[in-house]
Amino acid sequence: MDGEELELEFLSGRIFDDSLPKERAWLHKYFRTRRERSFVKYFLTFNNYTQFVNHTGHYFCAKALYYLRIKLQGLLEAHARAKSSMDLETLVEIETGKYHWRQHR
């Protein structure tokens, strides 16, 4: 999306609805609270979280936002990797919420 489309998305208020597109609905199994789901929707829309607290009113400290981003990106990457390599076992595990993602330091 370009800048104007993002502005319209924000102004329309659709980012405040914490529902996700069908192909990403499996993320609800990893982000259970309303604040976490709002973060996921916001990050997937804007690909950034610097104004999340100001735009949504949901408070997270900076460190919590950072870890939510790392968790979300890690899950999305694991899902994409499993899908591209046709690893159906891991893909099912991820989409059913049984995948144990761990940040590698």
1-48 pLDDT per residue, tens? 655 665 666 656 666 665 777 889 999 999 988 888 888 888 888 887
Helices and strands of the chain, counted as H and E runs: 5, 0
Element of type H or E holding 11: helix 3-12
Please give the Cα distance from 55 to 38 (Å, whole number): 11
For residues 72 and 40, is the Cβ–Cβ distance under 8 A? yes
Which residues contact residue 105 at a Cβ distance below 8 angstroms, ignoring those fewer than 6 apart? none
Q: What is the pLDDT of residue 90?
A: 92
pLDDT tens figures, 63-102: 988 999 999 999 999 999 999 999 899 999 999 999 987 7
